[in-house]
Structures are given as structure tokens and as C-alpha cells.
Amino acid sequence: MIYVLAILIGIVAGLRAVTPIAALAIGGALGWIYLEGTTFAFLLAPIALWLFIAFAAAEIVNDKLPRTPSRKTPPQFGVRILAGLFAGACLAVVPNGESLTYLIAGGIAGAVGAVIGTLGGASLRATLARAFGRDLPAALTEDVVAIIGALLIVYLA
């Protein structure tokens, strides 16, 4: 089950790269996930929590700007894959304990999810934008799905 959640959090990273990491920090702060003593314990620091929330909010705003490049360009795509890898590895460690096997398996699942989320998210947003007649409602819908999805996935982990 945890690897399904790792793929799903990776899909969210394909939609909004920083949102899953902010959700992990929020989940750690609220006690939804146990990060103490893991590689990811730094997410429990209040400064990490607020920085990732701020970065996620900035990404959401930046996404609406006309000069923002496509998520499918190599730098943006790469960041989303790395974010999915990180988030997937973090989720895999939470219930299983920290071992290289869980880190790698969770990371791969998250990275695969990020590829799916990046490509599928771009396609779905384009379809929604055509249906709405403009991009902003589609982008806002994607924001809501990413935020609620990330929080729900972390809660379920």
C-alpha cells in the first residue's frame, strides 16, 4: 500500500513540485507521519515547515504567470522527478523504517509517479483549459487537486 501512496505523491509532484514536500512537513508537524530519527527528520524543524509552505505558495503563484515555462521542459521536468523521488522515499521510510531498500523503492515509485503526473497533468490541464475557455480555472483546479491530494496521501501514510 505504501508504494501506491509513493506513486500517488509522485503524481502530485508532477502537478506541483513543492506541494508534496510541504505536505510531508505539515504531516510531520501534525503527527500524521513519524519522521524522528530518519533522514527526513529535518522536515520537522519549524523553519523547514514554513519554508516549504512558502515555496509551495510561490510555485502556485508562479504557475499562473505567462512567462512560466512548460512543466515538460527539461529543468522543470527534472525538478518534478526529483521532488517525486524525495517524497516517495520519505513515505516509504515512514512505516517501514529506514533502510536503503525502502528508500530506493519508494524513491523509484515517487519518480515514476512524477513522470505520470507531469505528462498526464499537462494533458489534463490543457483539456480543462479548452473546456473552460481559458487556462486560469484549469490551473486553479489543478492547485486544489494537488494540495488536497498531497495532504490526503500524507495523512493516509
Complete DSSP assignment for 43-64: GGSHHHHHHHHHHHHHHHHHHT
pLDDT one-digit tens code per residue, 112-121: 999 999 999 9
Q: What pLDDT was estimated at residue 96?
A: 66
Q: What pLDDT was estimated at residue 105?
A: 94
Residue 18 has pLDDT above 80, yes or no: yes
> Global pTM?
0.94
Which three-class secondary structure state does DSSP give residue 134?
coil
pLDDT one-digit tens code per residue, 91-141: 998 766 778 888 999 999 999 999 999 999 999 999 999 999 999 999 999
CA–CA separation, 77 vs 14, rounded Å? 8
| Cα dihedral value 108, 20, 127, 136, nearest 10 | -150
Residue 12 has pLDDT above 80, yes or no: yes
Could you tell me the residue ranges of all domains in the chain?
2-63+77-156
The rounded percent of the chain whose pLDDT value lies above 70 is 98
